[in-house]
Every structure is written in structure tokens, then in C-alpha cells.
Amino acid sequence: MNLLDEKEAAAYTDTGVWATKAIKEAKLFGKVETVCSSREANFNYIPKDFAVPNDSKYLHITTNNTIYGTQWQKIPHTSNVLVADMSSDILSRSLDFNSFGLIYAGAQKNIGAAGVNIVVVDKNILGKVKRSIPTIMDYRNHIKEGSMLNTPPVFAVYVCLLTLRWLKAQGGVAAIEKKNEQKAAILYQEIDSNPLFRGSVVKEDRSKMNVCFVMDNQEIENKFLQFAIENEIVGIKGHRLSGGFRASLYNALPLESVEVLVSLMQDFAAKNG
């Protein structure tokens, strides 16, 4: 709405459910060219070989795909404005934020409680569309009012403050990135070495936030899920679109929790292998 006029075109990457939803919404405001997609493989990889038309107003990516467990490990370089949905991996790793024209994210993964949305935008790319934008949706108004255009969800914002203070005490983004890499490495190593499990994503595109894996035997999957619940591990059932299991390793999850899951997987394999 702020960046795309009705007769203009934008480039979108189709890498999962939230990317697909972004494409659908963008079509309400202008032309959309899907420059790449991994839909044919049930979104189990990130496309690498694609071209962005020079006349595209921007290129849109979803940096991490929670349902399928893929992540842009290398942010694409483009001469176009780069727009990113970072809802599920913002502040989990170090990035060159200056390479983005606009970043938007929900706070509920790594920053705070649901109900807070974050937009980081280069103000120089705003004010270029001809359409009338509703006051509350015009980013220029939020900038002008110091993000106080409307009454914010005060408690949720306060939770964000506490979370950001915690993150700073951990050593900041660079330090938490090392912890996230360690958590992901331990779990993926177990998935790759345990004969009962296998990863569902191309290795180079594996998410460090959402680890997705499956078992070839559906009956064994159900048995493992019940085994996990009995051992007080909950919430690892995969999304209905991808099946299997999904372990989310967001910033707040301690390494010890991953170690418990790995130990459980080993124990289950010893009893059922």
C-alpha cells in the first residue's frame, strides 16, 4: 500500500505459507510477479536461481518459514528495494539491516508478546505512490508522530522492553546468534545420525529457528509424539501442512531444552530401533 501503485509491479518470492499470503495481499494494490517458488517441492528449499525485473518496485522475501522449516541463509542481493517479513527470525542473527528498504515483523517470536508489530523503513522510499493511503496505514504519519500516532498496546510494548533488556544482557544479537547456531547444530546432528528420523528440508536451507523433521513410519511418529508428551515435552507436533515434527528454537529457548529433546530421541531409538 505504501510502496506499490496500481499499475506498477513488485517481485515476490514464494517460499511458504506466509510468503504466499503476502503475494495474495499485494495483488490488491498492484501487479505481482512471482520470481521464484519452491511450491512444487512442498516448500522444502529456498530457490537460488532467479532474476528480478529491473522495473520491479521492490523484491519481497520471507526470511524464515516457520511451517516448513526453511530460512534464507544468504539474503539476496538486488538493486531493487528489498522488503522482508522477518516475523519469525528477527534479532536471532546478525544481518546488514542497511541492505533492506523495509522490514516488518510481529513481535511474538523473539521480541515480545503478540499484539506488537514492528516496521523499520527507509523513509526515502515513502511518498512515491499516487493512491490515497488511510491515515493509520501511512508509515509517514507514524514516523512524524514518533510511533505514537495511536494508543499503543502498552503492556505488550513493556514486555518487549523487558525482552530487549534480556537480549542485551545476553550479549546482544551476535551472542544470541551463537547460541541459536549451537542449539540448531545439536538437534540437526541428532536428526541426521538417528536412524528413525530424517530432516524434511534441504540441508543448506535449514532454519535455525524452526527445525522440521519426520519419521517414515506414521505409527512410529504417533508413538514418539506420545512418548514425548509422557516425558513432558509438548508442542513439537508439526503443522498439518508439513506433518512430522517441528521444534522451535527461538531466542528464549535454553540449550538445555534442546539437549533434553535429543536425549529423548536417542532413548526412543534405543527402545524402538
| Residues carrying an active site annotation | 18, 85, 109
Edge-first strand order for the sheet with 245-248 is: 198-199, 210-214, 245-248
C-alpha span between 109 and 98 (Å, rounded) = 22
Is the sign of the CA dihedral 178, 253, 171, 154 positive or negative? positive
**Amino acid at site 270:** A
- Compute, in degrees rounded to 10, the torsion defined by CA atoms 83, 88, 90, 92: -140
Are 20 and 31 a contacting pair, CB within 8 Å? no
Say how many C-beta atoms besides its own lie within 10 A of residue 155's C-beta: 12
